[in-house]
Amino acid sequence: MGLVDNLKTSVSAAARVAQTSIVFARHAQFFTRVVSNPGAPETARELRRIFESLGATYIKLGQFIASAPGIFPDSYVTEMQALLDRTTPVDFADIEKVLAADLGKDYRQHFRSIEEIPLASASIAQVHAATLSTGESVVLKIQRPNIEAKMDADLGLMSFAARLLEILLPETKRVGVTDVIHELGRSMADETDFIQEAKNIADFQKFLDDTEETDVITPRVVKALSTKRVLTMSRLYGAPLTDLQVVRKYARDPRAVLEKALATWFQSLALVGFFHADVHAGNLMILEDGRIGFLDFGIVGRFSPKVFESLWMLVQGVGEKDYRMIARSLIGLDATGGGGQKVEEEKFAAELRSVFEQVNNFGKVVETAARRGERIEVDEGDLNQMILQIVGVARDNGLKIPREFALLIKQFLYFDRYAQILAPGMSVYSMGPEVQGTRGKARLLPK
């Protein structure tokens, strides 16, 4: 990087710090609320509004808080759910600047057309439909302009503020705010590197090829038109697994579709050691030809064999309604270093039973609606609330559950909801160990 580039970066960082200071000054009442009542819903709401005003990095921080129950107060985890979906698209004129910078000023020669209205918009990037010069339908995932420069300035300021907070209020070290900022930076670095996302897609596709799985596909990456900030992929046409009518239209047996999707996802855990960490309805589709499509590999999780063993024990425990087994699976994951030695297993199991019975009761409501033929949306807030309760019970019993495991549980809750829609009365927790094999299958059993 030359002198001019360094100067531009410094000026941009200084401007970002000034902008951040102005936004916080406009919300001066937030600091008053933090001192007087830090855990109040009104305080969390004010912080969420600040994050919305400051844009991508802070929205990502809010999303991180929303997905990290047990680290932050419940009021903040609940309030930040509002940041999971809401983002305003960037004007296409600004998006074109990114395309020109990364694909060349003559990038239009590679395309017959590019839709200016995005198919989807998120805090880091947005997706536009396009047609290649060859006639192939594709989607372009394009980062927002200058997102990395803003992110670096924001993370630097956050890191400084976190260290200052831990000096002024030593008790905040227990929460590990500095570690949270570090983890956020690592996560955002991955999400702003579309070369890495393309590799994640390739790794998952290799897993499908190695297991000779032809009924599940991923988008094909067009490498010649992909960079760190632009990802060009084949477009998959279909519908989310929550749309029962369309699933019935494209596949003869909705239950078999779910079993195939679950088996594929679970096998990737067992055989590859990583998993698609965001299998919400928009990222898991039934395609027009009856195959299943896994989309968006910006967020993947990786874990140790110990985590997988605990997950399998939890799955078995939920399937058998053995709450002591569920308790032991969570005790084995304790990230505090204490090994769960001081946990009263019987008390912990009883509290977990109460939580999982609520999960089951909510599932019955979804099943009833599915049997009536009603269209059902899987509510992100409901799932996060369930995660919040599970991790909260663990925390109250002196345990700290790793974030990766909370992400794993959330994906299972997604599949549990899909089961209530596509295979009412069946359980995603009743799989046999054969699902771990190279030709494994998930066979759902009655609850």
Indicate whether 169 and 294 sit together in one domain: no
Write down the pLDDT at residue 52.
80
Confirm whether 141 is domain-assigned: no
pLDDT tens readout for residues 51-76: 888 777 777 777 777 766 556 677 88
How high is the pLDDT of residue 159? 77
Higher-pLDDT residue of 393 and 217 is: 217
For 221, 285, 332, the CA distances from 295, given in Å and listed in that order, are: 12, 8, 32
pLDDT above 70: residue 434:
no
At residue 65, the pLDDT reads 75
Burial of residue 366 (CB within 10 Å: 0-12, 13-18, 19+) is: buried
End-of-domain residue from the set 191, 215, 245 = 191
Same domain, 313 and 395: yes
Residue 114 lies in a domain: no
Q: Rounded mean pLDDT of 40-57?
A: 81
| Rounded CA separation 412/420 (Å) | 12
Model confidence band, residue 238 (pLDDT cutoffs 50, 70, 90): very high
DSSP alpha helix (H) spans, 67-217:
74-79, 92-103, 147-168, 177-191, 194-210
Q: Are 281 and 377 in contact (CB under 8 A)?
A: yes
Residue 117 lies in a domain: no
pLDDT category at 173 given cuts 50, 70, 90 is low
Q: Please report the pLDDT score of residue 382 as a whole number.
A: 61
Query: Looking at residue 367, what is its pLDDT?
Result: 52
Among 124, 156, 191, which residue terminates a domain?
191
Residues 259 and 346 in one domain: yes
pLDDT top residue among 360 and 445: 360
Mean pLDDT of 412-424: 79
Q: Quickly state the pLDDT bin for 7 (edges 50, 70, 90).
A: very low
User: Of 126, 156, 191, at which residue does a domain stop?
Assistant: 191
- Across the chain, mean pLDDT equals 77
Q: Are residues 244 and 174 in the same domain?
A: no
Whole domain around residue 155: which residue ranges?
A: 3-87+148-191
- Please write the tens of the pLDDT for every residue from 246-269: 888 998 888 888 888 888 888 887
- Exposed, middle or buried by CB within 10 Å (0-12, 13-18, 19+), for 203? middle
Is the domain of 325 the same as that of 404? yes
Give a yes or no: residue 219 inside a domain: no
Classify residue 79: in a domain, yes or no: yes
pLDDT tens digits, one per residue of 319-369: 788 888 888 888 877 654 555 557 788 888 888 888 777 666 555 544 554
Whether residue 273 sits in one domain with residue 178: no
1: pLDDT strictly greater than 50: no
Q: Does residue 245 form part of some domain? A: yes
Residue 276 lies in a domain: yes
Domain co-membership, 285 together with 162: no
Do 364 and 267 share a structural domain? yes
Residues involved in catalysis: 278
175 pLDDT higher than 90:
no
The top-scoring range by mean pLDDT among 129-138, 292-301, 370-379 is: 129-138
In this structure, the answer to whether residues 245 and 179 fall within a common structural domain is no
Residue 216 confidence (pLDDT) above 80: yes
| 164 and 248 in a common domain | no
* pLDDT reported for residue 436: 46
Decide which of 102 and 346 is more confident: 102
Within a domain: 256: yes
Residue 446 vs residue 306, higher pLDDT: 306
Contact 249/289 with Cβ under 8 angstroms?
no
Tell me, yes or no, whether 249 and 187 share the same domain: no
pTM of the model: 0.73
Number of domains in the chain: 2
- Are 270 and 390 within one domain? yes
